[in-house]
Amino acid sequence: MASKENSAVGFVNVSREITESIRKVLDKQPIKFVRAIKQETRGGKSEDRVLVLATWRLYLFAVKVPTKVEVTFNFLEIRAMNTYPDYQVVIDTDKTTYSLRLQTQDQLDHMVNHINYALSRVFNNSIYAPPICRAEGDLPDGSHKFSPNSESSLEPPKTCGGFSETYAALCDYNGIGCKEEVQWDVDTIYHSQDNREFNLLDFSHLDSRDLAVIVASIAYNTWFTKLYCKDMRIGSEVVDQILHTVSKSNSLEELTLENAGLKADFPQKMASALSENPASVIHSLSLAHNTLDNQ
């Protein structure tokens, strides 16, 4: 999608050729927003970039044909996002800080709204969702209210608590392919049966990393109330995400991990995870047939 606006003075125009080059790089990823911006660099200088927002990810492209990705990160990598006068936004990520200047307040608001809305879909408005955006300097009290855009205002009820959206975002964040079969099973079979028990055995053919992302997708989900695994040895990656889910979920009521190869330190870690979550509603926990040794 090329910009339909004339670029502000000092900003490059995003030509049709650049837009098509961006589409080729992103392949089938949906493009939600494209604008020319300035990226501030050291020494008070700035460079022209093309800002592109996809569903779960931000890109900065070089202004040339063929173009290339100069910067990209998943929204889940953002630790803070502060806005300032002159349409500036400073984004702190896990790795570094980016200072960007957009052309108008509307463009800045659109960008911030898109990122906040995407994160709200991942965290399902959980009390543990990180409040990443604040504004400074443009209002007397130092605050700026970002209203939902039309996309969020017209949002239909989420299938199975939005599991598939969260799963897709976490797959992107972890750099692994999103398994459509997982989304289909949840959105079709689990939903049609009104099944609130997530059974890891349904996905036992997947590797440990895939299973870990699936479990992580339940941490803020409000549909599933039970997590079940029996007679299937689970790896440390999956165990870590189960503990993370226990520490964050306010919907999980029952946890069954029978004959799952749990280690001796699991009960202590489980107790620690529960202590971190005052909103936990777990009332049933089964760890039967685990040797709980270090073998």
CA dist list (Å): 277 to 69, 210, 215, 243, 244 = 40, 25, 17, 11, 10
- pLDDT, residue 131, reads 64
CA dist list (Å): 169 to 46, 74, 82, 119, 121 = 31, 8, 22, 9, 9
Mean pLDDT of 103-121: 94
Give 34's strand partners. Answer: 52
- pLDDT, residue 124, reads 79
Band of residue 16 on the pLDDT scale cut at 50, 70, 90: very high
- pLDDT, residue 123, reads 87
Distance CA 245, CA 224 (A): 12
Q: Tell me the residue type at 285.
A: L
Q: Is 50 helix (H, G, I), strand (E, B) or coil?
A: strand
Band of residue 291 on the pLDDT scale cut at 50, 70, 90: confident
Q: What is the radius of gyration, based on Cα positions, of the chain?
A: 22
Distance CA 241, CA 195 (A): 21
Average pLDDT, the chain: 88
- pLDDT, residue 158, reads 82
Band of residue 272 on the pLDDT scale cut at 50, 70, 90: very high
Q: Name which CATH class applies to 16-153.
A: mainly beta
Domain boundaries, the chain: 16-153, 159-286
* Residue of 217, 223, 167, 220 lying closest to 197 (CA atoms): 223
Mean pLDDT of 171-198: 96
- pLDDT, residue 224, reads 97
